[in-house]
Amino acid sequence: MKAAVYRGKGLLSVEDVPRPDPPVEDEVQVRVTRAAVCGTDSAEWDHGPLLTIPPVILGHEFTGIVDSIGPSVTGFSPGDRVVAGAGVSCGECEWCSSGRTNLCSSYQTLGLQIDGGLADYVNAPASTLMLVPDDVSDDEAALAQPQSVAMHAVRRSGVASEEMCVVLGAGGIGAFIISAARARGVGQLIALDIDAERLETAARLGASKTVDVSGVDLVEAIRAATSPDGPHVIIEATGAPHAPAACFEAVRKGGRVLLVGLQGAPREIDLFALTVREVEVTTTLAHVFAEDLADSLEVLRTTDLFDVVVDKVIGLDQLVDEAIRPMAERRAKGKIVVDLTR
C-alpha cells in the first residue's frame, strides 16, 4: 500500500510499504478515504522530530471505511464509515479514570508516535473510532479531529454565550476555534489576525467582528474592538512570542485567557499585574474523545465548515509539494485534505 513515511527533518516520502497485519484484539483495520494535513505534520517535516517517533506513517486527522475487525471488537462492522480521534489512552490511569483521557499517562497519537492515516490502510484501536453520520460526507469527516480539538479548547475556556470573546489568530486551529465558539452560542465573537483572507474566513465562520492587527498595538486593538475594560475571554491561538503578554494585559479584570498556541521558548510575563487583576490563565491540549468528537461531528453536519476552511483536496503523491512544504513556508491558504481514493 502507499503511505507517507516520516523519517526525520526534511525526510517525508510517499512509499510502498506492507499493509498492516490483520487486526488483533480490539484493533480495527480502516481503509482510509480522506486524511487532512495538520500544521503539526508540516512542523515535524520542517524542524522535527518534535512530537513524532520516526520512522512513522503520519496522519492523525482521518476517516475511512472499516475493512476488518479484531476478535474483541464490538460496535463496528466491515463497511462502517468511521472517523478517528487518533488519541490512544489506557482507560485505567488516574487521568483516564477522571475523564481526562487526553492527559493519559501513556497517551499516544496515531500518526505521531504510532502509524497513522496518511496511508491506504491503518490499524486503530476501536476506542479511538466513532461512526460517521450518513449526512456527514467523507470530506467533512476528515475535519472531525481538528474541530474536536477546537471544541475542547472552547470548553476549556469556559466562555459563556453572553460573554465577549476574542480569538487571536484565525488561521489553522484558530478557524476551527471560531467555528466551535459560534456553535457554543458566543454572540460577541471578535477575530483578530494579520491576514485579510483569514479574517474573511473568520467572518464566514460566524465571527461578529474581524480586526486586522498588522502593525498596530495589540492591547489597544483588543480594547478598541471590545470595551475599554477589555473582553471577558481571550483565546490565544497564534503561538506568537508577544501574544500571551498582550492577552494578559488586554483581558478584563477577572477575565480568562486560554493559551492554545504553543510557544517555542520561555517568555517573560508580568505576574504582578496578572495577580492583582485576578486574571485566570487556562491551557488546552488535544481533545477528549468521549466529550468532544460527537460535538465536532454535529458542527460538521450543521455548518458549511468544509467549504469555508478547506483550500484544496489533493492526492497522496502531492503531499509534500502541495501541502507540507507550502504550509511550512506559510504559503498555504487553508486546510488541505488528501483523498486516498484517487
Specify whether the CB–CB gap between 63 and 85 falls below 8 A. Answer: no
Based on the shown chain and the rule CB under 5 A, indicate whether residue 89 belongs to the binding site for Zn ion: yes
Among 1, 17, 93, 314, binds Zn ion (CB under 5 A): 93
Q: How far is the CB of 16 from Zn ion (least distance, A)?
A: 26
All cell numbers assigned to 88: 490512544
Is the CB of 85 or the CB of 230 nearer to Zn ion? 85
Which positions from 40 to 59 touch Zn ion by CB under 5 A, shown as an x/- string?
A: x-------------------
Provide the 10 A C-beta neighbour count for residue 268: 6
Stretch that binds Zn ion, among 78-86, 93-101, 119-127, 262-270 (CB under 5 A): 93-101
Instruction: Indicate the angle between helix axes 289-302 and 144-157, nearest 10 degrees.
Output: 110
Stretch that binds Zn ion, among 92-100, 130-138, 266-274, 288-296 (CB under 5 A): 92-100
Measured torsion, CA atoms of residues 193, 198, 204, 210, in degrees rounded to the nearest 10 = 20
Based on the shown chain and the rule CB under 5 A, indicate whether residue 90 belongs to the binding site for Zn ion: yes
Based on the shown chain and the rule CB under 5 A, indicate whether residue 83 belongs to the binding site for Zn ion: no
Based on the shown chain and the rule CB under 5 A, indicate whether residue 337 belongs to the binding site for Zn ion: no
Q: How far is the CB of 311 from Zn ion (least distance, A)?
A: 16
Is the CB of 45 or the CB of 248 nearer to Zn ion? 45
Is the CB of 90 or the CB of 131 nearer to Zn ion? 90
What sign results for the dihedral spanned by CA atoms 84, 85, 90, 92?
A: negative
Site for Zn ion in 222-241 (CB under 5 A): none
- 235: β partners: 167, 258
Number of residues that bind Zn ion (CB under 5 A): 7
CA distance 117 to 204: 29
All cell numbers assigned to 130: 466513532
Based on the shown chain and the rule CB under 5 A, indicate whether residue 96 belongs to the binding site for Zn ion: yes
Specify whether the CB–CB gap between 175 and 148 falls below 8 A. Answer: no
Based on the shown chain and the rule CB under 5 A, indicate whether residue 5 belongs to the binding site for Zn ion: no
Site for Zn ion in 100-129 (CB under 5 A): 104
Q: How far is the CB of 111 from Zn ion (least distance, A)?
A: 8
CA distance 263 to 261: 6
Is the CB of 256 or the CB of 335 nearer to Zn ion? 335
* Interface residues toward Zn ion, by CB under 5 A: 38, 40, 89-90, 93, 96, 104
